[in-house]
Amino acid sequence: MKETKQLGLFALIALVVGSMIGSGAFNMAGDMALGANAGAMLIGWVITGIGIIALGLVFQNLSIKKPDLDSGIYSYAKEGFGPFFGFSSAWGYWVSAWLGNIAYATLVMSSIGYFIPAFEGGQNVASIIGASVLLWLVHYLVLRGVHSAAFINTITTICKVIPIFLFILITIFFFNIDKFTFDFWGSGGFSWSEVASQVKSTMLVTLWVFIGVEGAVVMSGRAKSKSDVGKATVIGLVSVLLIYVLITVLSMGVMTREELAALPTPTMAYVFEAVVGKWGAVLINIGLIISIMGAWLSWTLFAAELPYEAAKDKVFPKWLAKENKNKAPVNSLWLTNGLVQVFLITLLFTDKAYNFMFSLASSAILIPYMLSAFYQVKLIPFRENKKQFIIGIIASIYTVWLVYAAGLDYLLLTMLLYAPGIIIYKYTQKDYGITRKDAKFEIALMGIFVILAVIAFVGIITGKIDF
Ligand SMILES: NC(=[NH2+])NCCC[C@H](N)C(=O)O
């Protein structure tokens, strides 16, 4: 899927912006309002802004420094920390990619539910059937060899950006500062512990909306001029950040936190409806449906591509390297979408399915992100390049903080997703006749994965972890 066309600065920025905005932007205000008042939300954005820009620069720097490691970000973990980390990073990225698609499924059905009441809420039997139809439609397209063509990206980028811009431009005039500052730190006033826990609650939301940054900056390598690469990354990330901050701040100036948190999904549609009337919700829902279908297609491609590339790289079992006559990674695609289909059923049992699924997708991607940041620190000593070293450190701190902020439940659930990977890891080694013995620390790490997964399992059964 490598394209060679050279791009100018504006096209690059559009590419960076387009590859991050998917579903998150449309429901973010409600998702943040679930746990945070305006003050904590702003602090959350400052932390995210610094962390994500650092992380984006890490990905960019690594893609320039290590152009041969182009099979996905797991290759940084593999190169830097050995095969088990490499495998786990690939596994986690893949799991995150398809879990995210389940989040897409429920949100898109909820949006369609605005027009067709049978799907209302996106979490009933009708929605699961509807989502399954969409799933296998995307599957079919990819099997036929469709891949994210430039023109699909252009159309979806335009269709998602226009409603968002209109929302911002119009809602500004209805922004009520008193509403925004009402209970700014929470109903009990300011307290460190309260604000800290509110800030933490926003971290998986703000991470989710930036997922895709790893691919976006790599694509900016297609710049016409070298100096545009860095510029496009920073301008693209700052523009997306600005758009996100505006969406959430403006929403909190139109409705109180309680009102926002209680809105159906997608929040933005209902906020805009409150501002301009019915057409607002219609516009936003249509924008969302197009945006998500585009993102769903792209992430299906990523999710299927990764095991396929990893198999060619001897990181995943051979079976996954199979292509069909259209050069689509068939086995990998069937496996991935098969799992999505199975997990779609959980939408019936979870309370806030969209929120739960994207939070899980965000925490699953933390390991590949974290290992990439660590790799940069390992690769570039302070005396060699102060700037890149410091960027690596900031990105590392951000990802470690995210694990902490996500909280114990998500750590445990994530381990429940990672632990089964160990079996595949072992199987892969046999598959290729790799005789290397795992190092002591790798075995210890596997032990920790398994123990935490067991705790998670018990937690779910006994209802201590609920979702
Ligand atoms: N299917 C996925 N894993 N998607 C991850 C990308 C999420 C993207 N930033 C969004 O807001 O929608």
Distance 424 CA to ligand 1 centre (A): 25
* pLDDT for res 437: 86
Distance 436 CA to ligand 1 centre (A): 36
Mutational pocket test of ligand 1: of 17, 23, 26, the residue with most ligand atoms within 8 Å of the beta carbon:
23
pTM: 0.94
Residue nearest to atom 10 of ligand 1 (CA): 22
Positions of the chain with pLDDT lower than 50, given as ranges: 1-3
Q: Taking the mean position of all CA atoms in its chain, how far away is CA 389?
A: 25
Distance 299 CA to ligand 1 centre (A): 8
Distance 213 CA to ligand 1 centre (A): 10
- Closest-CA residue to 360 (of 375, 371, 373, 346): 346
Residue nearest to atom 6 of ligand 1 (CA): 211
Mutational pocket test of ligand 1: of 211, 289, 300, the residue with most ligand atoms within 8 Å of the beta carbon:
211
Cβ(329)–Cβ(100) under 8 Å?
A: no
> Over the stretch 12-53, which tens digit does the pLDDT of each residue have?
888 788 889 999 999 999 999 999 999 999 999 999 999 999
Q: What residue ranges line ligand 1, CB within 6 angstroms? A: 20, 22-24, 96-97, 100-101, 104, 208-209, 211-212, 295, 299, 361
> Over the stretch 394-404, which tens digit does the pLDDT of each residue have?
999 999 999 99
Cβ(401)–Cβ(373) under 8 Å?
A: no
Atom of ligand 1 nearest to the CA of 96: 3
| CB-count burial class (<10 Å; 0-12, 13-18, 19+) for 367 | buried
Distance 346 CA to ligand 1 centre (A): 19
* pLDDT for res 5: 63
* pLDDT for res 2: 45
Residue 295: other Cβ atoms inside 10 A: 24
Distance 101 CA to ligand 1 centre (A): 8
* pLDDT for res 1: 43
Residue nearest to atom 12 of ligand 1 (CA): 22
DSSP structure string for 311-362: HHTTSS-GGGG---TTS--HHHHHHHHHHHHHHHGGGGT-SSHHHHHHHHHH
* pLDDT for res 220: 66
Residue nearest to atom 2 of ligand 1 (CA): 100
